[in-house]
Amino acid sequence: MNPNKSQINPGRRAFFQASAVGAIVGAQTLLLGEALGAESSAALDGVLKKPDLLHGEVLRTQGELIESRAAVVERERAIPIAGHSDVLVCGGGPAGIGAALAAARAGASVQLIEVAGCLGGVWTAGLLTKIIGGGDKTGVMQEVLTAMQLRGGDVAKSTSGAVYDPELMKLVLEEMCVQAGVRIQLHTRLVGTVTDEQKRIVAIITESKSGRQAWVAKRYVDCSGDGDLAAQVGCQFDVGYDRNCECQPMSMMALLTGLNTAEVSEFIRENGAEAKSRFYKFMKEAGIDPSYRAPTLRHLHSGIYSLMTNHEYGVSAFDAGAITEATIRSRAEVHAIVQGLRKLGSPWQDLAVVATAEQIGVREGRRIRGRYYITADDLISGMRHKEAVCSTRFGFDVHNVFPDGSNPPDVKRYQAAGVKKYDIPLPALVAADVDGLMMAGRCISGDFLAHSSYRVTGNAVPMGEAAGLTSAVSIQKGVMPHELAWNEVQKFAQTKTVAS
Ligand SMILES: Cc1cc2nc3c(=O)[nH]c(=O)nc-3n(C[C@H](O)[C@H](O)[C@H](O)COP(=O)(O)OP(=O)(O)OC[C@H]3O[C@@H](n4cnc5c(N)ncnc54)[C@H](O)[C@@H]3O)c2cc1C
């Protein structure tokens, strides 16, 4: 993935010249030494040995179990630096793709860190099959929709790429990122950060089959959905509706086959909004009681369907044990529902599960505090902002927070008021507490209700693009992202970037 020199486009070379001897590079190297303490840093330098990955070597951990047996204390060790880049993007979902592509196309070297085995986040690992709010967007969002439309089946064509095949999405995203020169590291999870005394990020720490590794960049973009990077740095954040962190439920998505499209057309979402309630009524009458009361069946192409019919309530996005239980429970529910439908006979008798999502769909994680906080009132008043990176009119989409089908009290009131087209401003993507860190996607700064609208993927992509571009331009201009206005970023990008 690493472009060799001859592959570097002219824009990229210009970028190198602009930033190679910048104060920021020097400062970061110095600060890393300072962060460890010069003596400690030198001592660890001597013992640093990169494991021979080809021969299966590991960087061994050492430590002690404390007396109470409640914890293990890890011994200090040197973590090899695995890579340097201008911009590091954590998370390769819709937002991360936008960020990585925009930064790379602006000439920055970009490292993308993704824990799954594919790019796309909820789009792919989560088996989502519908892009909401993307149709009126330009840039990367339009490129993705066009690719889905051109290379997808009839349904993708008739929906202008909005209903897509997640497998095709994996391929297209990899192609786009490879072509732009983004360095992709899959199967790798961010687990920590190293900061200096000003709370600026010096390096991030990851875990993977290659062990614990560190990555150094000049700017960082948190596109992890859950705000993992920002939380590690110590940024303030909000979770859920109120102090009890009441969040929207998670959902296990599935791909199915074995249906004749004409025979189940009344239940297919693309044939009308009432398809969901009709399918629910049909299931209930057949003695099937899905945990999501608006089951959504989509035909993708060639007899392949997607189904969302599960809700997992009260599961914390930060509790791997609880997510595991929800995953097992939800997968069992999907299979049980399919078995229940099969028993009904024609046209369901050949119904089969092709795949369930590798990652249960998480609707809500941390909302990191930025330099603007988008509120539900902004949405109902149709807030316009001079630093708008994109606009949307998608409604308050709160799946029932509570298992009895109810929601917090404000939800109905705001839903009745309705969303007017509103702006997502750049400062909502700039971390409030740490310089040099931006966010994009569902972890940006806003309240519970605003998040239920801006979180959709048609917004996540342009947010990512804005964060990636602002990060890249901020390096070239030798300032921090919060010191740039969006129109300056756009103007600078237009004049300085040499498109290849
Ligand atoms: C069940 C469900 C149905 C939905 N339906 C729709 C819909 O129909 N249409 C629509 O447009 N939107 C829908 N949404 C909303 C939308 O999918 C998300 O809000 C959107 O994906 C947000 O994009 P993102 O890039 O911020 O986050 P994500 O898609 O969650 O991507 C985050 C990425 O970061 C990676 N990551 C996380 N933590 C780490 C870490 N520590 N280290 C490395 N990588 C990490 C993840 O693996 C993932 O790839 C739905 C969401 C869910 C859960």
Residue position matching structure tokens 């497998």: 167
Which pTM was predicted?
Answer: 0.92
What integer pLDDT is reported at residue 20 of this predicted model?
Answer: 33
Helix axes 320-342, 275-285, angle to 10 degrees: 70
Is residue 59 one of the residues assigned to a domain? Answer: no
Is residue 229 one of the residues assigned to a domain? Answer: yes
Same domain, 405 and 309: no
Same domain, 416 and 342: no
Q: pLDDT at residue 10 above 70?
A: no
The dihedral of CA 268, 272, 276, 282: what is its sign? negative
- For the chain, the domain total comes to 2
Same domain, 221 and 118: yes
Same domain, 322 and 430: no
Is residue 46 one of the residues assigned to a domain? Answer: no
Asked if residues 484 and 464 have their Cβ atoms less than 8 Å apart, the reply is no
Question: In the predicted model, what is the mean pLDDT of residues 286-311?
Answer: 97
Is residue 406 one of the residues assigned to a domain? Answer: yes
Same domain, 206 and 352: no
Same domain, 238 and 302: no
> In this structure, what CATH number is given to the domain that contains residue 325?
3.30.70
Q: Which atom of ligand 1 is nearest to the CA of 206?
A: 42
Is residue 63 one of the residues assigned to a domain? Answer: no
- Residue 330: give the domain boundaries: 253-356
Q: How far is the CA of 320 from the centre of ligand 1 (A)?
A: 17
Using a 6 Å cutoff on CB, does residue 360 contact ligand 1? Answer: no
Residue position matching structure tokens 């909005």: 162
Same domain, 18 and 154: yes
For the segment 44-96, what is each residue's pLDDT rounded down to a tens digit? 665 677 889 999 999 888 999 999 999 999 998 899 999 999 999 999 999 99
Atom 20 in ligand 1: which residue has the minimum CA distance? 457
Q: Which atom of ligand 1 is nearest to the CA of 442?
A: 26
Q: How far is the CA of 67 from the centre of ligand 1 (A)?
A: 41
Task: Calculate what percentage of the chain has a pLDDT beyond 70.
Answer: 90
| Token pair in block for residue 111 | 């490292």
Using a 6 Å cutoff on CB, does residue 173 contact ligand 1? Answer: no
Task: Note the Cα 201 to chain centre separation in Å.
Answer: 20
Is the peptide bond between 51 and the residue preceding it cis, with omega within 30 degrees of 0? no
What integer pLDDT is reported at residue 39 of this predicted model?
Answer: 55
The mean of the pLDDT values for the chain is 91
Among 356, 384, 413, give the residue marking a domain's end. Answer: 356
Q: pLDDT at residue 448 above 80?
A: yes
Q: Which atom of ligand 1 is nearest to the CA of 440?
A: 26
DSSP three-state, residue 304: strand
Among 303, 337, 356, give the residue marking a domain's end. Answer: 356
Helix axes 38-47, 23-36, angle to 10 degrees: 90
Same domain, 156 and 218: yes
CA distance 416 to 12: 49
Task: Note the Cα 198 to chain centre separation in Å.
Answer: 27
Is residue 430 one of the residues assigned to a domain? Answer: yes
Atom 15 in ligand 1: which residue has the minimum CA distance? 456
What integer pLDDT is reported at residue 8 of this predicted model?
Answer: 39
Among 356, 374, 399, give the residue marking a domain's end. Answer: 356
Q: What share of the chain is helix, strand, coil (3-state, %, to 5)?
A: 40, 20, 40
Is residue 50 one of the residues assigned to a domain? Answer: no
Using a 6 Å cutoff on CB, does residue 251 contact ligand 1? Answer: yes
Question: In the predicted model, what is the mean pLDDT of residues 429-455?
Answer: 98
Same domain, 424 and 376: yes
> In this structure, what CATH number is given to the domain that contains residue 119?
3.50.50.60
Using a 6 Å cutoff on CB, does residue 130 contact ligand 1? Answer: yes
Q: How far is the CA of 60 from the centre of ligand 1 (A)?
A: 33
Asked if residues 406 and 249 have their Cβ atoms less than 8 Å apart, the reply is no
Among 474, 377, 472, 384, CA closest to 425: 384
Residues 244, 250, 256, CA angle at the centre, nearest 5°?
Answer: 170
Atom 38 in ligand 1: which residue has the minimum CA distance? 224
Q: How far is the CA of 225 from the centre of ligand 1 (A)?
A: 6
Using a 6 Å cutoff on CB, does residue 91 contact ligand 1? Answer: yes
For the segment 347-402, what is each residue's pLDDT rounded down to a tens digit? 999 999 999 999 999 999 999 999 999 999 999 999 999 999 999 999 999 998 99
Same domain, 127 and 199: yes
Using a 6 Å cutoff on CB, does residue 436 contact ligand 1? Answer: no
Atom 14 in ligand 1: which residue has the minimum CA distance? 456
Residue position matching structure tokens 């179990």: 65
For the segment 205-258, what is each residue's pLDDT rounded down to a tens digit? 999 999 999 999 999 999 999 999 999 999 999 999 988 889 999 999 999 999
Is residue 51 one of the residues assigned to a domain? Answer: no
Q: How far is the CA of 183 from the centre of ligand 1 (A)?
A: 21
Which residue of 223, 248, 457 sits with most ligand 1 atoms within 8 Å of its CB, as the best mutation to test the pocket? 457
- Range of lowest pLDDT (14-28, 200-214, 366-380, 406-420): 14-28
| Token pair in block for residue 425 | 């401003």
Same domain, 349 and 481: no
Same domain, 126 and 18: yes
